[in-house]
Structure 1
Amino acid sequence: MAIKKIVENAVQAKSEIEELTRQGYTHDDIYIFAHDKKRSDDITDALDTEKVGMKEQGFLDSMKNMFTSRGDELRSKMEAAGLTKEEAADAERELDHGKLVLIVNK
């Protein structure tokens, strides 16, 4: 079962990640999402968390995301990281407000 956390910024994300690693999760178990792709990539790289890729999504979904809107891509990736369709839609609305979404899934 995936854990979803909503944070305001990268500082709060870092704090949450530190707490999660103390609880036994690894950086490979943690995904960070932001609505802006560059912001998402920068935070993922800075905090050394995992990216949702073909391993999680599969080849066809990864290819499909190249031709969809950012919102559709984010919901698809959050589902691949372990959220239900409804949870991913709720999380994407939080991203619309500039927040970050952390998903933890072993």
Structure 2
Amino acid sequence: MKNVRVVENGVQAKEAIEQFLNGGYTKDEVYLLAHDKNRSKDLTEALETKDIGVSEQGAVNLVANVFQSRGDELRSKIQSLGLSDVEAQQYERELDKGLVLVVATKAG
């Protein structure tokens, strides 16, 4: 089960995260992505969401992302959360506009 919200800023991201947590997700099931790596890192830390790492992407994809463009890396990360290639492309375009992606996903 996946829920995705596209938001404009950290305040809206915090609201989306709170809604997901109130809806039964845990902090370990909520992810945040922004096109700018520093913004993504800062918001992830400030809002205490989970970083997309080896357990989500697998070691091969994680290493491959080092050699990809930021857009390719973001699409790979979005897909690792269970979204389709078409959805990943759509959401990556939103990130290109400076928006923030908040994804809540439950395994299974």
Q: Fold conserved (TM > 0.5)?
A: yes
The equivalent of 1:23 in structure 2 is 23
C-alpha separation in 2, matches of 1:60 and 1:18: 32
**Aligned CA-pair RMSD:** 0.7
The equivalent of 2:39 in structure 1 is 39
1:84-95 correspondence to structure 2 within 5 Å = 84-95=84-95
Q: Which runs of 4+ in 1 moved over 3 A?
A: none
Taking structure 2 as the reference length, the TM-score comes to: 0.95
C-alpha separation in 2, matches of 1:54 and 1:85: 19
The equivalent of 2:102 in structure 1 is 102
1:53 aligns with 2:53: yes
Deviation at 1:73, TM superposition (A): 0.2
User: How many residue pairs get matched?
Assistant: 106
Secondary structure, in 3 states, of the residue corresponding to 1:3? Answer: strand
Deviation at 1:3, TM superposition (A): 1.3
The equivalent of 1:68 in structure 2 is 68
1:11-70 alpha-carbon deviations (Å, 9 max, x no partner): 000011111111111111111000000000000000000111111111111110000000
Deviation at 1:103, TM superposition (A): 0.9
C-alpha separation in 2, matches of 1:56 and 1:17: 19
Q: Which runs of 5+ in 1 are unaligned?
A: none
Q: Which runs of 5+ in 2 are unaligned?
A: none
Taking structure 1 as the reference length, the TM-score comes to: 0.97
